[in-house]
DNA sequence: GATGAATGAGAATTCATTCAT
DNA sequence: GATGAATGAATTCTCATTCAT
């Protein structure tokens, strides 16, 4: 955790960044099953170097997901600064989906033990909270129906993203049409009585742990 | 195809059924990557026995998916016989999602080369056609907005199913709530102008082939 | 060994013959590694039936080779009846090579433990003896050089056959040219002092046992 | 290709050499079907190590054959430097046969897809060309009959080698006697009209590709 | 007797992880 | 610190052989 202890760290830090970035790309392209050797090769380092930084493949995945997560939190924060909550809201969902569409790994990871990691839980919690607050404003504005929760939204986002991923090669961007459909279902005019009560935040977090 | 060809088949048939069922369960639980040895063990047979029936793992998967697919086609056919297209339509989506929820393998397979198999293409094509005809009636009845296509629906179904899968352990049936949300987006009252034109059937089929 | 004991044997005998013949063909085409299932299928019997007759694959191979061997002995015997030993001799070599060319298995088997089997040793011994006697006559006639032995001939035959086999697909019958070359080396006019003394019959037989 | 790129290679190089040598031996002894585990075990390495160097068993075989092939080309080149083409010619055949005698794998590989590999084709082509030129000189000197071609020689060599292999255990070197016989057939004095025209170089190369 | 179903011991190959240099 | 070599467990698939029907 100490970062400035050794001067050498300059090189190491660069290497570390390089590894995470490359892992990001490779996992995004090939999914969670990509071999570490592919990452090492593309990053121009030895596999050993990866293991020096990350005790296991899972740890590297967590780092990559954290990276992704931070981008998401940033997107949420930016959205919250907008005056027009309704529009900002739609754009945020779009951004979130785009992130998963372009990152097969992120999509793969959802519903996995990986997301139960302390660091990730904290991070996603932040995103969650931010999203809830934006949602509340959009609901107050009358842009979004009152009976949906932040958990519902995350569900919708992941659904559209995952399904969109399979179309991306043959019809890039086709998911935007389906996001449109989903958004129509979130408008107050569309509201009918929903079956079941919303899941709690606790349940949502537990869900991520997968089997 | 006739069962009387060989009397011996009694045992074999039982075993075969057993293998497919077990494979069904194991794949449903562990996903497509489950090792055949796990199936063999749980079925109480040697690995060789599996390979006697199915020349490759893919072939076994296809058999399992075929099984699932047939249930789907039956569900579509049944829905089409209903007088009330709108209600039958909602119920059909529900059934389709439930099928995927309870079968992780089915869900995994979507967007894979496997679905490009002749037998499966034929089968899903039938489901597709049936669904399109039911959709047309529901639209004529004014139950469903006019601008959605059968392809859109399959997208929605898969999205809700996949996302629902990750909640199933902690909140069984929670996906019904999200299906409700999605259905609300499909009602004529919810309709706004959708971005992008719908994907063609051809594109949809190509998508299944995966990369 | 008793053959007429049971009347049922008629069917069985037919089956047995069928198996050996089919095995003959399949082994000839695909070589010694052909799976027994291929033979069973082509013969229209179950694998079990093969094992009822032959305790192991090797045993079946021996049977097939015996069959081949008998044809060879017959060819030798026929050659010995000819008045013109020189001509009969050349023709015999030709026949022997053709047999191997058209039977990949026979060729494969040479130099294998299989040929050490009692029955085969006896059989080939007969061929050996016959060949030696024909050779003696051809040498007496002045058609063949005096310093070659029957063992030498078997060596020549197998060499031409094996090498010929690899050309058979692209240049069928090309081996006849090389048999011609070999025969030229066997004529008295070609004789020079050969290095090494001929191998003994004992050595030749031992050789077949392979490793 | 330069060795100095990585200093670490010292160990690796040793291991690599060890693997190729061991593979050489094991394949030479047990033939092409020897399991890689046998090689790994004898070399004292894990199977994984072999696969690190050679992506497949075939690749390892090619490496082994290349090794052998280079020795052959060297032998051809050396032979061509001799003033006495006739004598050099006989010696070359002797060397070529000896190479196959001591390497069952090399012998097995002839007539296989393996020899169709780019690298090997190039290598054997060089040997072929060199042999053809030496043959021409030997023919001009009157040491070898005019109607044989380089392709014929390769055929003779392989035939003697293969047949010789099966005698090697019981009568080491016995093949030299048979090479003597074959050489007698190649002398001008032995020449009679050969049946069939010689095969073309193209046919010969095609033959190597196996079925 | 015949059948073909079941078995399980290999074989090739991949990849996360450890360790000598 | 970095490298990439070595390892070996895991996975798919094949086939001789056994055995229930």
Q: Which residues of B touch A180 (CB under 8 A)?
A: 192, 194-196
Relative orientation angle of helices B201-208 and B118-140, to the nearest 10 degrees: 140
**How high is the mean pLDDT in each 10-residue block of chain A (211 residues)?**
52 86 93 94 94 94 92 94 96 94 83 82 90 97 96 94 89 95 96 94 71 38
Q: Is residue A69 part of a domain?
A: yes
Hey, are the CB atoms on D211 and C186 less than 8 Å from each other?
A: no
Q: Is the Cβ of D203 closer than 8 Å to some Cβ of chain C? A: yes
Q: Is residue A97 part of a domain?
A: yes
Minimum-distance CB partner of C190 among D176, D189, D204: D189
- The residues, any chain, with a CB within 8 Å of residue C1's CB and separated by 6 or more, are none
- Whether the beta carbon of B52 falls within 7 A of nucleic chain E: the reply is yes
Among chain C residues, the shortest Cα distance to D29 is held by C211
Whole-number pLDDT of residue D2: 41
Q: Which residue is nearest to nucleotide F6 (CA to C1')?
A: D49
Q: Within this chain, do residues B34 and B72 fall inside the same structural domain, yes or no?
A: no
Q: Within this chain, do residues A92 and A42 fall inside the same structural domain, yes or no?
A: no
Q: Is residue A31 part of a domain?
A: yes
Tens-digit pLDDT profile for residues B13-52: 888 999 999 999 999 888 899 999 999 999 999 999 999 9
Whole-number pLDDT of residue B89: 96
Neighbours of chain A (3+ CB pairs under 8 A): B
Q: Is the Cβ of B12 closer than 8 Å to some Cβ of chain A? A: no
Relative orientation angle of helices B175-186 and B85-101, to the nearest 10 degrees: 140
- The residues, any chain, with a CB within 8 Å of residue C187's CB and separated by 6 or more, are C143, C144, C145, D190, D192
Q: Within this chain, do residues D100 and D23 fall inside the same structural domain, yes or no?
A: no
Helices (H), D47-198: 47-53, 57-80, 85-101, 104-109, 118-140, 150-167, 175-186
Hey, are the CB atoms on D152 and C176 less than 8 Å from each other?
A: no
- The CATH number linked to A181 is 1.10.357.10
Average pLDDT, chain A: 89
- Whether the beta carbon of B58 falls within 7 A of nucleic chain F: the reply is yes
Whole-number pLDDT of residue B6: 54
Between residues C77 and D210, the one the model is more confident about? C77
Q: Is the Cβ of C35 closer than 8 Å to some Cβ of chain D? A: no
- Whether the beta carbon of B56 falls within 7 A of nucleic chain F: the reply is yes
Q: Is residue D96 part of a domain?
A: yes
- Whether the beta carbon of D55 falls within 7 A of nucleic chain E: the reply is yes
Q: Within this chain, do residues B41 and B77 fall inside the same structural domain, yes or no?
A: no
How many structural domains does chain B have? 2
Which nucleotide shows the minimum CA-to-C1' distance to residue B53? Answer: E5
Distance from the Cα of B4 to chain A's closest Cα (Å) equals: 43
CB atoms within 10 A of CB B75: 20
Q: Within this chain, do residues A159 and A185 fall inside the same structural domain, yes or no?
A: yes
Q: Is D210's pLDDT higher than 50?
A: no
Q: Is B85's pLDDT higher than 80?
A: yes
Classify residue D196 by its DSSP letter: S
Range of the domain at D48: 1-53
Size of chain B in residues: 211
Q: Is the Cβ of A210 closer than 8 Å to some Cβ of chain B? A: yes
Among chain B residues, the shortest Cα distance to A111 is held by B166
Q: Within this chain, do residues A15 and A77 fall inside the same structural domain, yes or no?
A: no
Task: Report which of residues 56-115 in chain C place their beta carbon less than 7 angstroms from any atom of strand F.
Answer: 56-58
- CA dist B49 and B46 (Å) reads 5
Q: Is residue B82 part of a domain?
A: yes
Q: Give the CA-trace dihedral at C95, C98, C100, C103, to 10 degrees.
A: -120
Tens-digit pLDDT profile for residues A39-69: 999 999 999 999 999 999 999 999 999 988 8
Among chain D residues, the shortest Cα distance to C187 is held by D190
- CA dist C13 and C26 (Å) reads 20
Residue D48 (CA) to nucleotide F8 (C1'), in angstroms, measures 8
Hey, are the CB atoms on B206 and A170 less than 8 Å from each other?
A: yes
Strand F, nucleotides < 7 Å from a protein CB: these are 1-21
Mutate to test the interface with D, among C171, C183, C201, C205 (most CBs of D within 10 A): C171
Which nucleotide shows the minimum CA-to-C1' distance to residue C51? Answer: F17
Q: Within this chain, do residues B36 and B89 fall inside the same structural domain, yes or no?
A: no
Residue B19 (CA) to nucleotide E3 (C1'), in angstroms, measures 22
- CB environment C30-50: b (16+ within 10 A), e (fewer): eebebebeebbeebebeeebb
Distances (CA, A) of A129 to A134, B114, C205: 9, 40, 88
Tens-digit pLDDT profile for residues B159-181: 999 899 888 888 999 999 999 99
Tens-digit pLDDT profile for residues C158-207: 999 999 988 888 899 999 999 999 999 999 999 999 999 999 988 887 77
Average pLDDT, chain B: 89
Task: Report which of residues 8-37 in chain B place their beta carbon less than 7 angstroms from any atom of strand E.
Answer: 8-9, 11-12, 15-16
Size of chain C in residues: 211
SS3 string, chain C, reads CCCCCCCCHHHHHHHHHHHHHHHHHHHHHHCCCCCHHHHHHHHCCCHHHHHHHCCCHHHHHHHHHHHHHHHHHHHHHHHHCCCCHHHHHHHHHHHHHHHHHCCHHHHHHCCCHHHHCHHHHHHHHHHHHHHHHHHHHHHHCCCCCCCCCHHHHHHHHHHHHHHHHHHCCCCCCCHHHHHHHHHHHHCHHHCCCCCCCCCCHHHHHHHCCCC
Burial (Cβ within 10 Å: 0-12, 13-18, ≥19) of residue D5: exposed
Q: Is residue B58 part of a domain?
A: no
Sign of CA dihedral A50, A53, A59, A60: negative
Among chain A residues, the shortest Cα distance to B33 is held by A33
Q: Within this chain, do residues C43 and C66 fall inside the same structural domain, yes or no?
A: no
Q: Is the Cβ of D152 closer than 8 Å to some Cβ of chain C? A: yes
- The CATH number linked to A18 is 1.10.10.60
Whole-number pLDDT of residue C204: 82
Hey, are the CB atoms on B167 and A195 less than 8 Å from each other?
A: no
Q: Is the Cβ of A162 closer than 8 Å to some Cβ of chain B? A: yes
| Mean pLDDT value across residues B86-92 | 96
Which nucleotide shows the minimum CA-to-C1' distance to residue D54? Answer: E13
Classify residue D54 by its DSSP letter: -
Specify whether the backbone of D210 is left (phi greater than 0), alpha (psi in -120 to 50) or beta: left
Q: Is the Cβ of C211 closer than 8 Å to some Cβ of chain D? A: yes
pTM of the predicted structure, to 2 decimals? 0.86
> First vs last Cα of chain C: how many Å apart?
31
Q: Within this chain, do residues D85 and D127 fall inside the same structural domain, yes or no?
A: yes
Strand E, nucleotides < 7 Å from a protein CB: these are 1-21
Whole-number pLDDT of residue D6: 54
Q: Is residue D59 part of a domain?
A: no
Q: Is the Cβ of A47 closer than 8 Å to some Cβ of chain B? A: no
Provide the percentage of residues in chain D whose pLDDT is more than 90: 66
- The CATH number linked to D1 is 1.10.10
Q: Is the Cβ of D105 closer than 8 Å to some Cβ of chain C? A: no
- Asked if A174 contacts B188 with a C-beta cutoff of 8 angstroms, the reply is no
Minimum-distance CB partner of A206 among B170, B192, B194: B170
Q: Is B128's pLDDT higher than 60?
A: yes
Q: Is the Cβ of D110 closer than 8 Å to some Cβ of chain C? A: yes
Q: Is the Cβ of B198 closer than 8 Å to some Cβ of chain A? A: yes
Q: Is the Cβ of D84 closer than 8 Å to some Cβ of chain C? A: no
**How high is the mean pLDDT in each 10-residue block of chain C (211 residues)?**
52 86 93 94 95 94 91 94 96 94 82 82 89 97 96 94 89 96 96 94 71 38
Q: Within this chain, do residues D127 and D169 fall inside the same structural domain, yes or no?
A: yes
Tens-digit pLDDT profile for residues D137-155: 999 999 999 999 999 999 9
Q: Within this chain, do residues D20 and D124 fall inside the same structural domain, yes or no?
A: no
- The residues, any chain, with a CB within 8 Å of residue B157's CB and separated by 6 or more, are B93, B96, B97, B100
Provide the percentage of residues in chain D whose pLDDT is more than 70: 93
Angle at CA of residue B165, ends B60 and A180, nearest 5°: 115
Interface contacts (C, D; CB < 8 Å): 150
- Whether the beta carbon of B4 falls within 7 A of nucleic chain E: the reply is no
What H or E segment, with its residue span, contains residue D174? none
Q: Is residue A59 part of a domain?
A: no
Between residues B120 and D3, the one the model is more confident about? B120
Q: Is B137's pLDDT higher than 70?
A: yes
Hey, are the CB atoms on A208 and B166 less than 8 Å from each other?
A: yes
- Whether the beta carbon of D13 falls within 7 A of nucleic chain E: the reply is no
A vs B contact (3+ beta-carbon pairs below 8 A):
yes
Domain end position, chosen among C53, C77, C96 = C53
- CA dist A104 and B211 (Å) reads 13
Q: Which residue is nearest to nucleotide F16 (CA to C1')?
A: C57
Q: Within this chain, do residues B191 and B132 fall inside the same structural domain, yes or no?
A: yes
Lowest-pLDDT range of B71-75, D177-181, D184-188: B71-75
């Amino acid at each position: 955790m100490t970062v400035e202890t050794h001067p050498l760290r300059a090189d190491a830090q660069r290497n570390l960044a390089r590894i995470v970035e490359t892992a990001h790309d490779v996992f995004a392209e090939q999914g969670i099953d990509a071999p570490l050797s592919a990452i090492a090769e593309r990053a121009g380092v030895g596999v050993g170097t990866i293991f020096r930084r990350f005790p296991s493949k899972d740890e590297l995945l967590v780092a990559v997901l954290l990276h992704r997560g931070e981008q998401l939190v940033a997107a949420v924060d930016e959205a919250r600064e907008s005056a027009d909550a309704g529009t900002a809201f739609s754009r945020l969902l779009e951004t979130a989906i785009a992130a998963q569409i372009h990152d097969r790994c992120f999509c793969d990871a959802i519903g996995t033990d990986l997301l139960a990691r302390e660091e990730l839980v904290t991070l996603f919690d932040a995103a969650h909270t931010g999203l809830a607050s934006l949602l509340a404003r959009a609901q107050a504005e009358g842009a979004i129906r009152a009976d949906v929760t932040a958990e519902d939204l995350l569900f919708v986002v992941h659904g559209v993203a995952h399904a969109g991923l399979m179309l991306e090669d043959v019809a890039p961007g086709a998911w935007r049409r389906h996001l449109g459909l989903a958004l129509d279902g979130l408008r107050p005019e569309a509201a009918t009585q929903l079956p079941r009560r919303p899941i709690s935040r606790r349940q949502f977090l537990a869900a991520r742990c997968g089997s």
